[in-house]
Every structure is written in structure tokens, then in C-alpha cells.
Structure 1
Amino acid sequence: MAHIQFIDDLVREYLLFRGFTSTVKAFDNDLKVDKDKGFRVDKIVEQISHYVNVSDLTGLKEYWSHLDSMVFSKLEIHVQPAVRKIEYSLYKLYLVTAAQSAGGVRNEKVSEFLSKMLPELQGQNEWRDWFMLPYIQKPEENPSFSLYFTRAWQDSVLVSLHNLLATVFQCMPQPTLTSYESDAALVKRLQDEINSLRGKTQQSTEKTSPIGHQSRLAQYSERLSGPLPLVDDFCAVPSEQLDSGLREARGLRGLLRQMGGSPVMEFIKMVEAFYLDAFERTKRRNRNWYKENILKVLEAAKENRTRQVDASIALAKDLLQILNEPRKKAEQVPPHSLIPSEADSFMKPVEPEILNLLHGSTEKGATEKYLKERNKKAPEDKLVTYNRSG
């Protein structure tokens, strides 16, 4: 509870900031007569020792009564006997100290204590012998009192009191303002843990990916930032037929725009980048990098699942299935053509999905036009049969 004094300073500073001068004066006056001593155990033990040493029975009883009402009364029932035992030990320490004091006030203070405490202590066996204390010449030599006159016992009483107060103050409920220290420690620990995990994640990414994740995304961002429509790269329409492809693609582009949400568009961009990169890096592409990033897009799409996202989820699953298949040695594709041959296993498995999207577009005859252009470019490939009823 050492931070209580710091909290008091904060409260005083706030009151001054608000201009509550009269409140500050009252606050300072209360602090001067604070019996709890800022919940500092050493100060409380010191105050009790002072009452014992000067034989101030009234001050001792009032101070203990304050602690009992403010602190001890809120403890559980099974702790009360221990509190009562320490209280009686303090009373015995008071009597021993009064009996050891020099001057003619010795028996007077002892007799005063016994007379005032008679209603409370009579009938208790452990106090029966103590009422004889004023009449014993050398109580420190009497077997009934010799233990209490030793320095070890007197110190043990104060140590027990110190331990009791420290334990109680540690367990007692505190206001929100006093928990700032533990909250600050918790925030710092969480920040350190986050920084540690970030470092481990970065190291793991650098080990598993030949090119950093951010640099790969930057490459794809630059590649996709051109004016080409989504459907051109997605369906691999030849560049020399771009003008005619624009007309056939209007319906599909409209459908993609209706999809809207970020997960869908991110996935479409990921598919575009995958196919373009696959054509350029047939022998040295990083398949694991594609899998990890497409899985992330797929999870994002599932979390924001809507009717329009369903097509992208299905397409992502097909793409992952392709990536999981054993890699076959692809034939060289002529540089003037972006249409993969039958030996290339990248485009054909997802062509049914492309045809489904074209069939669902608002452009009349979009599917037939696409098949016509596809036949012109790769007549040797057997096209996927499209069934309108399916």
C-alpha cells in the first residue's frame, strides 16, 4: 500500500487544477489527522507502540477501535480469533511496560487498566492471574509472568501485529484509482508479449518465404494497378483481342462490381496475380506462398459471408485444390499467347466457374462470345462443355 501517498498527491494536484481551494484545505487537514497513516504498516505499528510506551490506555483503545471498525470487522469470521488474540497481547504488553516503568505511577497505571478493563476481561481464564499483578513485588521472576517480561516475547507481539496488518491491507478491496499500478504493469507486460510475438512472426516469415510478404504484395499491387479490366487477366484474353474483349466483359464486370465487399475483390486480385505470376514463373513459383495468402482471403470471405461472396469462396476452394495437386512439368507457352495449353494445369480446372459467371451476367451472349474467342486462340484445346440447364 506504499502507493497510497502517491495517490494522495495526485488527488491534491487535481483539486488544485480544478481550483477547489477549500476542498484542498479540508483534504490537507484530514491527512494530518489520518489514523490510517496512508495504510503504511510501519507507521501504524509505531503509533500503537507510542500509546503502549506512554501508558495511554484511552488512546490505545480508541485507535484499536478505529482499526477494528475500518479494517478488522470486514474480515471473515475464521480470522477474528487471531485478531482478538493480538489485541489481548497488546493489552498484556501495555501492562508489562507499565509495570517496568520507573516512578510511583507504575502500580497506578496497572490498577487503572485493570479497573477499566474489568467488565471486558473478567470471566476469561487467561486474564485471571493478571489481576494479581499490582500486588506482586517482582513479577518478572514470577512463573506466571516471566515469559511476558522477556524481550523476545515483546518483539514477537509487534512483529505479529505488523504481519497481520500487512496481510489485511494486501487483501482488502481497493478503489479503482489505486489499481493504476497493477493496470500499468499489465499493459506493459501485454505490450512486451505482442512485440515478442511480432518478432517471432517476422523471423518465421523471412525463413519460409524467399521474398518478403510486403514486397510480394507490392509487386502484385503494381501489376494490378493498370487500366486492364478484371475479366481480361482473369480469363487470360489475348492482348491483341483486348478491344473485342471489352465488350464481352461488360456483363461480368458488372457482376463483380455488385459483389462489392473487400474480401471478394481481394480474392479476385489474388487470382489475377496468381495466374499472371504462374505464366512468368512456371519453374520457380512459390506455391506455399499462394496457399497461405489465398487461405487468408478465404477465411476473410467466410467471416463476411453474403450471397455475393459464395462464388468467390467456391473459386478459392478450386484454386487451393489445384495448388495441392502434384506439380507437373509444364510445356513452354508461346510468348505471344497467354492462353495455357492442355498440359498446363492452372486455367482449365477453373474454366467452368468462369463460364458460370459469364452465364449469370446481364450481357446477352457473353458465354458464346467467350467460347468463340477461346476457340480462335487455342483450337487444339478441347473446351469445357457448357450446359445451360446445369
Structure 2
Amino acid sequence: MKSLYRDTMPVRKGEELDRKTLYHYIREKMPEVPSGELEIEQFGAGASNLTYLLRIGAWEAVLRRPPLGPVAPKAHDMEREYKILSSLYPLYPTAPKPYHFSKNEEVVGSPFFIMERRKGIVLDSTFPEGVTYDEQLGKKISKLMVERLVELHRIDYKKTELEHITKPDGFMERQVAGWIKRYDNAKTSEISGLKELTNWMRKSIPSSPKPTIIHYDYKLNNAMFSEDFSEMIGLFDWEMTTVGDPLADLGVALSYWTQPDDPEQLKTGLGKASVTTWGGFFTREEFLEHYANRSGRDVSMINFYLTFAYFKLAVICQQIYYRYFKGQTSDPRFAQLDQYTETLIQYALDSARGL
């Protein structure tokens, strides 16, 4: 059975790390690490930050750094993510334990941090060999996804570093304005209906409930499960984590959670369809209902949050495509992302219109 944080592969051309420099840095700054040959592999999933497996003998860790090329201001902030994990890990052990942060760009070409490597099952479009799937398993995984999200939203953010680096007041107003601006900065073509969508979002912002910690990139392939699927043993990619409207976090989770009757473009825009489209997994309505029951929150305005989440995901895809369009990356996975961006914007527009 596969038992990996992510499926690893040889490092992609152009994304190599200087093995000798990194090894000497690790030995200097992390004396607990054994001596020996440093092996480096790359985690192939993910389209934003670059993530590597480091191995020296029996010691393993994960290194995260920003993508190559220019990045948007405040995006891909490794120090911020490191601080978040450092203060969150003791309260929410599903998050990985961070080991070390470095601003020294001479080591890997950018700031980076090193964290623990966890081993378990990460799901995307299929199950690993050895797992017998039935609908009860789909329901079990769905419940775990909802319950760990509710658990995160229950943590007192004032007990974490997030209290000092976030501004919960006016969160949704800033989010709507900020993501519209990000799209404008990464635009490569005109998309029909965009103006109608952005005007609707500006005018339709609901009153937010009490702020909580939000992961803001909560999706199945950012989670890791034990081999018997009895628990979620890891949750990764905390780059977007902040304190804000918990329903915005729920909207993001629902935007990633595709279901069998979704349009094909929505299910396969980022690759093969997710296992959430298999029989037994919650529908978005069931996910929403279970969240409402477990959290006690009013979710009657979820249409706004889901609409905004589709737009936010569209902007993320457009920012990645913009780097490809400008020649800042040659990763062929990104060549068609502009088409998926348009699909998401049209889907958000349909959602805003109540279709």
C-alpha cells in the first residue's frame, strides 16, 4: 500500500536544489540531523509552492519554498506559514510540526522552511492498491473531512500567533476587493460576465459570524488519513490560513468538493475527477448539512460564500496560468489553466444568478 505524504518523483527540470549547499546548511542549523548522503525528491502534486522530500539515512523531512519567478506581494510567505504552524501545531496536531525557517536565499534560491514528514494515505482521483472501497468508506472519509474542519473552527485564535498577524474585522470586504484586484493583475484575456459577477459580489457580502481560524485551502488532497481511515493524521498547505469568516472556509471546501452530477469541466478542470464523485461520498448539500449540525452555525447564506469560492479558485488558477503565459514556468500542467479559469468564472456567475 502506498504510504506517502505525496507521491514523490525525481525533481522536475529547472526546479532542482543545490544538494551540497542545502546539506551543509542543514548540518549547521539542525545538528540533530545525522550525517550521510542527502537525497532529494519532489512531491508532484500541487501547482503553487514547491515541496521536496529530504532524506538522510533514516531521517526524512519536507522542504517548502515559493514557486520560481516573480510572486505577488504577500503571496507564498514562508515565514508566515512557519509561524502559523509553530503556534497551531500544539493545539491542532493534525497540522505538521515545523522544524526550521530560513530567510537565507543563497541556500535554495528563496526563503524556505523544513517540517516533519508524515506517512499515510492522501487521496485524489483514486485509492491506493490494497484498499477495498465501498460506499461506507466514502461516508466515513466525508465525515472526517467535515469534523476536522469544525474542530479547526473551534480553536481560540487568541491562543495562537494568528492573533497578532491577522485583522478579522472587515474580512469579507477585504477578501472580495483583494481577489478582484489579484485577478485584474493576472488577467490575460477578457471573460464574458466577469463585470456582472464582481459587481454582484461587492453588493452581496453578508454579515459574518464570529471569526475563527480558517485554513482557506481545505480540500481532500491536502489531507492525510491513517491506513484504516479511522482518522485524519495530517492537514497540509497552510499558506492561506488566517482569522476570518468560517463560512468562507466552508465555501472553499465546498468549491473543491465535486459530486457526480457536476459538469465534466468542473470535475476535471484540474486533472482527473476526485474520488468525491464516487458513490458514498457526501454531496455538497450533505457536507453543508453535516457542518451545520456539528458546528451549530447558520449556513443559510452559503450561496454567496460558494460563489465567492469559485471566483477565488478561478483567480488562483489564473495567477498560475499567468506565470506560464509569461514564461516564468514551463510546467505543461498549466498550459490549459486559462480555460479552467473561464469555466470557474462562468460557474460562479451561474451561482450568483441562482442557477
TM range (shorter): under 0.3
Whose Rg is larger?
A: 1
Structure richer in helix, relative to its length: 1
Relative CO higher for 1 or 2, CA cutoff 8 Å, sep ≥ 6? 2
Structure richer in strand, relative to its length: 2
